[in-house]
Amino acid sequence: MKILIIEDNTELSEAIEAYLTEQEYVCETARTYEQAVEKVELYDYDCILLDITLPGGSGLEILTRLAKENKQDGVIIISAKNSLDDKIRGMTLGADDYLTKPFDLAELSIRIFSLIRRKQFSGKNLISYKNLSVNILSKKVYYDNREVPQLTPKEYKLLLFFLSAPERVLTKGSIAEHLLGDNADLFDNFDCVYAHVKNLKKKLKQAGCTEYIDTIYGMGYKFN
């Protein structure tokens, strides 16, 4: 899977590259508008991460170019601007998703994960990790072909979040934000994250799946 990171901030770009490379994505980077245009015209990518404010030009113009050349690359806008105008403009120009800075790398990862899955029309409706598999259409979860009891929408969302970043630490905060968005500060101390994880573990256990979710002391959880 090839990903192009168009971001002028070196530290951020490198951090994204490091995180995604470990997840076995092939990453390339562009720091300026010219570099970005050059790479976009020469190669095809499964996913392009696009910052809107770039030295040398606007990221939105790259979107226009992609559309003009009829390229099928998936685009996720990563912008510091949380304004709806930009979001709507980006989406109408052909972006697939919009992520506001600052974001969790795990959140970025699951957005890429779902975008690529959506873009591939190979009828691959099954996400598997070791003995665990999830049917995207029926939203049913199987462990060793045994059906896991019906998950609630949030538990299902949580499981997909884990599956998108296996062997990665997901902090309680990033889980809360993934499940609740701007409402993440609804509950102090992320008690609800703990409760969600506990219930998910319980249901997985009923199908015989134990020890997939590790608790990382003080920080969060890891899917193994």
Partner 1 sequence: MAVKLIHKTLRMYLIISISVFIISIPVFYVIVQKLWMKDIDESLVYQKEQLIQGIDKHNITSEDILNFVKFSSKIDNGIVIHKLTQAVYKKDSIYNHSFYDSIRKHVEPFRELTAYATINKQPYQIIIRRDLVESEDLLAGIVVAQFSIFILLLALIHLISIGYSRRIWNPFFTLTRKLQEIHLDKASRIEVNCRNIYEFEDLKTSVNALIAHNHQLFLAQKEFTENAAHEIQTPLAVIKSQLNLLSNEASLTSSQMEHISHIDYQIRYIASLNRNLLLLTKIDNRQFALDETVDLTALVSGHCEYIREEVHLANKEIVFQEKPVTLTGSNTILLISLCNNLINNAVKYSSPHSTIYILLNETQLEVLNAGRNEPLPAESIFHRFYKTNASTSGSGLGLSIVTQICKTLNFKIEYRFRNPDQHLFTVFFNQ
Binding site for partner 1 (CB under 8 A): 9, 11-12, 15-16, 18-19, 22, 53, 80-84, 100-106, 152-154, 168-169, 171-174, 177, 179-180, 182-189, 191-192, 195-196, 199, 216-220
Pick the closer one to partner 1 by CB: 86 or 96.
Answer: 86
The residue (of 126 and 219) whose beta carbon lies closer to partner 1 is 219
Strand locations in 132-184 (E): 132-135, 140-143, 146-147, 169-171
CB of 97 closer than 8 Å to CB of 76: yes
Q: How far is the CB of 122 from partner 1 (least distance, A)?
A: 30
User: Cβ 168 to partner 1, closest distance in Å?
Assistant: 6
> In angstroms, rounded to a whole number, what is the distance separating the alpha carbons of residues 36 and 89?
20
Phi (first) and psi of residue 156, to 5 degrees: -65, -45
Least distance to partner 1, CB of residue 3, Å: 15
Q: How far is the CB of 116 from partner 1 (least distance, A)?
A: 20
CA neighbor of 201 nearest in space, from 125, 124, 146, 149: 149
Give 209's contacts (C-beta < 8 A, 6+ positions apart). Answer: 131, 132, 143, 144, 148
Q: Which is nearer to partner 1, 42 or 84 (CB)?
A: 84
Kind and range of the H or E run holding 69: none
CB closer to partner 1, 67 vs 80: 80
Q: In this structure, is the dihedral angle defined by the CA atoms of residues 24, 47, 154 and 186, taken in order, positive or negative?
A: positive
Give least dist CB 169 to partner 1, A.
Answer: 5
C-beta of 36 vs 66, nearer to partner 1: 36
